[in-house]
Structure 1
């Protein structure tokens, strides 16, 4: 036997080499769902929205209270679907099942069980999507493309099983975001994924209208630990007033607990954070047996805390901490979640901070503080209503007057009915010790906000923060001011 042949025979066996290259084929889908395939096919993706179908996808015809996916089969196949999962015979390649929603769940569980991937689940009141993207970037880099994640904010009762069903058999890591707005929603999601690592980013009064208190929010978020696999790790913020409560939930399940934050007893503890010229931070962390120093590209105190959670999760998942540091150093803001966009104005450029996707009292304060720390000729904030605050809404909106004053914001455009409470507070004209009083306008929707900002007029060196709950559509304002004219 030649030396070359001997080396080939000695090549280490890898279970992943025996797994399929295609995401799904007809036989595998039929076996997972108990359905019947009409044709043989191989698929590269799974999709539930006919508008997002790509060539090679299997379209799942889900049925809801107001919509039936079977009505969009033609659209899905026109866009390149190779087959559909349906609950009735159709004139397209398909897998026939009794219930398409159950079939999606069955497919998700089959994907989970066939893959050796280490699974990481993320929830929290603020920062889920950004932390998910950072963890994915770190693991994808170190595994050379063998990591998978939820796309967009697919974090609900449909998005999580869909994301899991898309998990390639040969993946080494899977990163899944989980959200909720009512009690009882996290447990079913974590049961789908059965993660090896579960991370809570933070607890804040988000969806408090439906849960009633921050304690109830902490209890619901802690349900993510109930799905942890044997020997799993619960990662918990150490600086929350609800830390002990979350630790109690994790302890009752007998899982490994790792805390992160500034607290002296945090397992992943912040030692130092120094601002850097690019707007981010140089962070030094004590992880117990080692210290790390890395750069976080994203600006803001909240991203310093997020980075500690990222490091804790990557380590618990068996990932590469050096790759995590590089990922954090290279991350750019996501659309609607911190993207920094240039605006062409007379005499030069203005900067727009796009936080238009979501808003709650905690994230509002964090981004207003970030705006106050950003060098600017003038600081302008376009702030939209924070949703799902219920009876707490008037107080939480009015309380934003304080961080607006602290950030020395020159002008505020308030958008939405609930912002009248903040308008009333700002209208009192209370000056700080130096006599600073921000100007403000109040309007009802994004179209009026666009007109108000145009009337105000942007000049070179201005920085504009745009933040509000997604239902207001402030993304339209961002597009209006940052899109390049044809």
Structure 2
């Protein structure tokens, strides 16, 4: 009787009336203006036949060099339930005039049908980690009703794809937005139309295309243009471009929630006590209320990231206690800070995997983190930082200072862009590597593997691997972890 009474008083939620399937044929056809070949349901949406899982809708996109229709057979062999196509095919499908336009239409329909608070995340550094942390916090407090873009699906295809994947019953959606040129964020925020727009930081990433940090700030600020009435801009109070970002947000009609350490911060750091595992116990203040939580991720930059996460969760109406628990439990992301204990002669060494991305700001942050990591020896394998244009030689050479400050014993530099730093270390080795450290330069990731094997890792070493993804240092990580 007690259970029956509780069921009778269970609170009603309009979301309970929404379909459990992600999409069915009729809904896809209505959203895209297409014609369905029959009745079907799908549980996911995918554009790469290699990543298709059982029950997915495969979107056969057409590009300048590739036509997704060529991979229909592979997609259905991997378990696709149906396809979005621009021609008749011998599989369950919805036929449309243009599959790219249809994906955008499906994304818009997904945005409209889900009564979800949408959070857009951009920034020069840290956007993927911050996006994952915001998702973890909101997913915990909503008991699994949060959605986010996976991996780094943050471009003109990845963002609408991530929207199309959002279940109708979602309470929150967290979407990463990336850019290489001015105007790109404007298009992406038009897709998402966020209620909360987050800028993690401004740094000289993609400066080759934009020319200055001010121009980068302006391009990132395009995210505020998607905010509707009552939208909230979460911005870094400690950035030298704070006023520029604030003015852009205010011009878009947004409210401001700033995070940081200075007096302009609404979510303001009061104290951070390092913990033995490399994280920190953080005390912050928001509107006169003190918050205390643990951050499992190591490094000073993750203290700042945590303030950004807390500000975003607060702006989205989420649970700050759940956010604190999520930050305490997060593990490093593959290629973005994941730590491994690897077998080496005599025992184990620590591997810090930052192989997915690199720019001057993130290089400095992770080198500082390596310097704070307890180790018998510290080794850094540093790949080239891409898209720096005419600033490349200067920014690479300037890495000598954080390398020296981190007390690194051996540095392996990878890629032609690292040559200015190699020459600088050759001239200034005594001053920069005051601990008697050594350094080498390699043309490729394959050469770096050989150079590191020749150097020889031993028990107690800490090894940082960081570089732009195109350098291919993920292969080095795979070799060291035994993943290949």
Q: Please, which runs of 5 or more residues in structure 1 have no aligned partner?
A: none
1: CA distance, partners of 2:103 / 2:142: 28
Say which SS state the counterpart of residue 428 (structure 2) adopts: coil
Report the equivalent of 1:119: 118
Q: How does 1:30-429 map to 2 (within 5 A)?
A: 30-429=29-428
2: CA distance, partners of 1:435 / 1:234: 44
Report the equivalent of 1:476: 475
Deviation at 1:482, TM superposition (A): 0.9
1:405·1:438 contact (CA, 8 Å) conserved in 2? no
1:268·1:285 contact (CA, 8 Å) conserved in 2? yes
Give the structure-2-normalised TM-score: 0.98
Deviation at 1:56, TM superposition (A): 0.3
2:56·2:82 contact (CA, 8 Å) conserved in 1? yes
List per-residue Cα deviations over 1:327-377 (Å, max 9, x = no partner): 111111111000001111111101110000000000000000000111110
Structure 1 pair 112–381 and aligned structure 2 pair: CA distance change class (3 A): same
1:429·1:437 contact (CA, 8 Å) conserved in 2? no
Report the equivalent of 1:460: 459
Report the equivalent of 1:20: 19
1: CA distance, partners of 2:293 / 2:435: 37
List per-residue Cα deviations over 1:278-313 (Å, max 9, x = no partner): 111111001113110111011111100000000001
Deviation at 1:380, TM superposition (A): 0.4
1: CA distance, partners of 2:14 / 2:372: 50
List per-residue Cα deviations over 1:110-153 (Å, max 9, x = no partner): 00000011111100000011001101111111111111110010
Deviation at 1:5, TM superposition (A): 7.3
1: CA distance, partners of 2:432 / 2:11: 70
1: CA distance, partners of 2:425 / 2:347: 31
Report the equivalent of 1:447: 446
2:334·2:353 contact (CA, 8 Å) conserved in 1? yes
Deviation at 1:229, TM superposition (A): 2.5
User: 4+ residue stretches of structure 1 with deviation over 4 A?
Assistant: 2-10
Deviation at 1:10, TM superposition (A): 4.6
Deviation at 1:172, TM superposition (A): 0.8
Structure 1 pair 17–407 and aligned structure 2 pair: CA distance change class (3 A): same
Say which SS state the counterpart of residue 154 (structure 1) adopts: coil
- The number of residue pairs the alignment matches comes to 484
Structure 1 pair 435–366 and aligned structure 2 pair: CA distance change class (3 A): closer
Structure 1 pair 465–3 and aligned structure 2 pair: CA distance change class (3 A): closer
Structure 1 pair 113–299 and aligned structure 2 pair: CA distance change class (3 A): same
Deviation at 1:49, TM superposition (A): 0.3
Deviation at 1:431, TM superposition (A): 2.8
2: CA distance, partners of 1:410 / 1:291: 41
Q: Please, which runs of 5 or more residues in structure 2 have no aligned partner?
A: none
Report the equivalent of 1:431: 430
2: CA distance, partners of 1:165 / 1:15: 21
2:401·2:432 contact (CA, 8 Å) conserved in 1? no
List per-residue Cα deviations over 1:385-432 (Å, max 9, x = no partner): 000000000000000001100111011000000100000110013434
Give the structure-1-normalised TM-score: 0.97
2: CA distance, partners of 1:20 / 1:223: 34
2:425·2:432 contact (CA, 8 Å) conserved in 1? no
RMSD over aligned CA atoms reads 1.4
Structure 1 pair 347–195 and aligned structure 2 pair: CA distance change class (3 A): same
List per-residue Cα deviations over 1:162-204 (Å, max 9, x = no partner): 0000000001111100000111100110110111111000000
Deviation at 1:433, TM superposition (A): 9.3
1: CA distance, partners of 2:268 / 2:359: 26
Say which SS state the counterpart of residue 314 (structure 1) adopts: helix
2:404·2:434 contact (CA, 8 Å) conserved in 1? no
Structure 1 pair 461–8 and aligned structure 2 pair: CA distance change class (3 A): closer
Structure 1 pair 103–321 and aligned structure 2 pair: CA distance change class (3 A): same
Say which SS state the counterpart of residue 429 (structure 1) adopts: helix
